[in-house]
Amino acid sequence: MNIVVLDGYAMNPGDLSWDPLHALGAVTLYDRTAAQEIVPRAANAEIIITNKVPFTRDTIAQLPRLRYLGVTATGYNIIDVAAAKERNITVTNVPAYSTESVAQLVFALVLEFTHRTGHHADAVRNGRWSTNPDFAFWDFPLTEISGKTFGIIGYGNIGKAVAKIASAFGMNVLVSSRSGKTSQVLKTWEVSPNITFTDTESLLRRSDIVSLHCPLTPQTDKFISASTLELMKPTALLINTGRGGLVDEQALADALNNGRIAGAGLDVLSTEPPSPQNPLLSAKNTIITPHIAWASFAARTRLMDVVVNNVRAFLSGHPVNVVS
């Protein structure tokens, strides 16, 4: 069985083992693959593993031996699933492998805003504490999040994990979900009585922190826009560890630069890597991390395990995590 991994470096830059995959067939590994290299590299592949390398209808048509496409991520919008299904090609993804890590980064971003830990640590290293006339100093307001309102848009696995952490911090949690469920329906099994389900407009108006965890669809594309930002408190923070396309980046940059909202913590942008001209890279009160929420060692270990198990299950004739 010929197995080709087209962009394995992001998942495994060298600290994980490919041996379990090698046990399932003849494996060819590529760290990265450009668009013009896809067909030549995958020409003889029966199984292809991809993260961000796209498979359009035209590309799939040029790979007559292809039987299986394994996406090393939860989202699989890089695959023309309809074209794969017409060819009876199995497409799988990896759900829920990074839930805990993404939820953790949400609060890393929140806490960086509330205490500016990095800035104050640098100030100490640069000698400012040693020369300070008082026993303590701070350059930014220090904010206690207990009692604040944390709004979560999208209530899948990650949204639930974020809600649990926010509740543990003593925050009041508002949730807006596509399901339209209410707190009355869910109160018997929710993790905390601090969680209330509400409509999105009310959530935006009432929340001190808004965190995005909904999928990117035609309905949610640029959902955070000039009009939705107008609903938010001027003291509010926006956190996005979901999809960059959920945000109208120019509108958000304008809102930050104009003081319409207090800050934004972002782990995703609409194009990655971003153009140097992306307006958010120079916007005020913005913390941007390079799409690392998913990438903890623990999460990538789980990811590798599921990727290999998906292939193993396919070869056994009982595929799992099928999206095609």
The one-digit pLDDT tens for each residue of the chain (324 residues) are: 999 999 999 999 999 999 999 999 999 999 999 999 999 999 999 999 999 999 999 999 999 999 999 999 999 999 999 999 999 999 999 999 999 999 999 999 999 999 999 999 999 999 999 999 999 999 999 999 999 999 999 999 999 999 999 999 999 999 998 655 544 444 434 446 779 999 999 999 999 999 999 999 999 999 999 999 999 999 999 999 999 999 999 999 999 999 999 999 999 999 999 999 999 999 999 999 999 999 999 999 999 999 999 999 999 999 999 999
- Active-site entry in 120, 178, 291, 312: 291
Look-up of token digits 């309809």:
82
The two structure tokens encoding residue 51: 């993260």
All domains of the chain in start order, with CATH: 2-97+297-315 (3.40.50.720), 99-288 (3.40.50.720)
Is 272 among the residues known to form the active site? yes
Nearest alpha carbon to residue 29 among 44, 16, 38, 18: 18
Sequence-distant (6+) residues with CB within 8 A of 321 are 92, 93, 94, 95, 306, 310
- Determine the pLDDT at residue 194: 79
- Determine the pLDDT at residue 178: 67
The two structure tokens encoding residue 307: 């990727």
Is 291 among the residues known to form the active site? yes
For residue 301, the surrounding DSSP H or E stretch is helix 297-315
- Active-site entry in 243, 249, 300, 302: 243
How many angstroms separate the CA atoms of 211 and 110, rounded?
A: 10
pTM of the model: 0.92
Is 243 among the residues known to form the active site? yes
- Determine the pLDDT at residue 193: 72
Sequence-distant (6+) residues with CB within 8 A of 300 are 11, 12, 15, 16, 294
3-class SS at 164? helix
- Measured CA to CA in angstroms, residue 165 lies from 106, 194, 195 at distances of 10, 11, 11
- Determine the pLDDT at residue 177: 82
